[in-house]
Structure 1
């Protein structure tokens, strides 16, 4: 990948889109992870106002410290960067008291994890509406179009997606070029939605390098008959998640009414 040219292309694309949309700039949720760090840096390089928002909900201290380190670095590098923090922990806890209670199950844990992501999305759009900003998505290609590892109308609820055509390894290449803090580049990817130390790999069952490989194999027309051992296991993980998460990747289905019924 021609990393400098890719970075320049994304920055120009962001600037042109914002100019044509007649908005002031961008708002990005900062998690302390690689994707939000790269996305916010690219937005900052446009020269347009870039608001970095921390949205902790029972967040691990190391995630918060990495987010703070990144925002501090960005503000030192770019005069157009500002920050805000909205601690949504009490909002999340209050939400749990006003919905029906259920016994703790995997389904409940997942529903609450997705609720965290949707509370964050709502808050980002609050700031976007106040300041005339676009919500910049932080999803990469493997997450958004490979395994669907995001929350519909949560971190998937955005105005534009600057890095969604880049696989994870390419995001890391950009991170190095953009001088994202080393602590973020070395951190294990995690969505931080469960209030514990589980990583993305723990949840998915495969690393991003493995998922990139499986994505390439599926695009090349390979099938399960072509693999064995760990390769077969990874390929099955990828194809299963790709299949069951198609509802996140395709446009909302619309029931078309025949003209003769109107």
Structure 2
């Protein structure tokens, strides 16, 4: 167990490596995505004991539409199945679920299920689980600035009052604290357009473990290393 006092309050995960994990076993990529969904369940359960209050996971990016039609369709089916199978357990565990990203391209059925899960868990506060679905950091900032510009054009907001705090109120994550720790699995050392604005001062952990192998023990070890870091936010310690 990590030192909760010094541990991260908000952890964000780029869940990479599902496809490679499956291919290494001679299985289709969707087999890896199903294994990855099991890991989400395990990590969610592990958060409270590690002192993690907020968990944000990158489920599907705005760029993931470039994948094969078979994989995209399979992922959308997996998202629907996850919501359907996990809803009652998440409610009972005190997990509040919210989604970020642009829902316009998602099917009405999936969007409705997302709305229902958000409403069902809206009174929970043991863990705040945010799922980034059809999400991209640049897309989010673009949509936020458009909404902000409309407020200025309507005269409800003065241009002189616009600053970084104002813009943050228009982001998808306006209800979240900024992430303290961002974890990317699978050995890739890039942030892939994830929480670009919010992660300005986050600590990063790039680990070689593929997401389906990201057990609660590996998660605890990774979270535990956070307590050894000194966060100065641009300042210099005395």
TM range (shorter): 0.3 to 0.5
TM-score, normalised via structure 2 length: 0.33
Identify the structure with the greater strand proportion.
Answer: 2
